[in-house]
Structure 1
Amino acid sequence: MDLSIILMIVGILLIIVSFFFKNNSKKVEQDVEELSISIFQETNNLKRRLKIVEEELLLEPEFQVKSSSAQNNTIPNPNIQQVLQTVQQAAQTSKTGQAATKTKPIHQIIISQVLELNKQGLSVADISIRSNLTEEQVRQVIANGGQ
């Protein structure tokens, strides 16, 4: 037999055998696509839930700097102290501006939280920090008894 005939027969046999083997790459591609879709859906679901929780608790970013005695002990550079004081003043002015413009009613969950913390004996300042309300709002909630 000629070498070309043998090679042709081997080639035809390999083509026939290849039809019987499964192609796993399509299954792997499908699995990866399903995984990426499920991760995308979960991420969007978590973002929606986080947004709902933030809206319920009326979370706002707060910038607070420790007391000035702690600043003097830990930060020797006066330029850094000036920057921190400026940031602290800006945070205080933004708090007062937010308190003045804030006309939203306080959510019932926060009111019950404030009353419970008051029953536990926490100070108005501590309750203010934990509930993300101003001290004046905390005093009003306690004075009104949650109404």
Structure 2
Amino acid sequence: MDLSIILMIAGIVLIVVSFFFKNTAKKVEQDVEELSISIFQETNNLKRRLKIVEEELLLEPEFQVKSPVAQNQTIQNPKMQQVMHAVQQAAQATKAAPTSQNTKPIHQIIISQVLELNKQGLSIADISIRSNLTEEQVRQVIANGGR
């Protein structure tokens, strides 16, 4: 009888102790989940900021597009306003004369982007579209190796 009482007491003690371990495991699991969510949000914020910076570097800062349609409409979504502005600037940049692009120096970030896209095996036409450079400028950058 002594052995059965000892086993019963040990079982009750182990059950009580197991309740404490479950609570800490849930807390750790919740902390890890919150941490992963915050890292995901920070990563998305950084990607969004990086995309905006890349768009600013790739677009010519001198072009100011003022379209009567865009002035009459009020767009409430700020993200939509940024996209519309970027599209208008890109459209204006493609209308610019090719001689004005040849006289301006090419930024080092764009040169490295062109070289990286070339390493990835993209065609000159695709690189030209992605970097907002003419095909001749892309050929020159690749031929010079970025110098």
**Same fold? TM cut 0.5:** no
TM-score by length of 1: 0.38
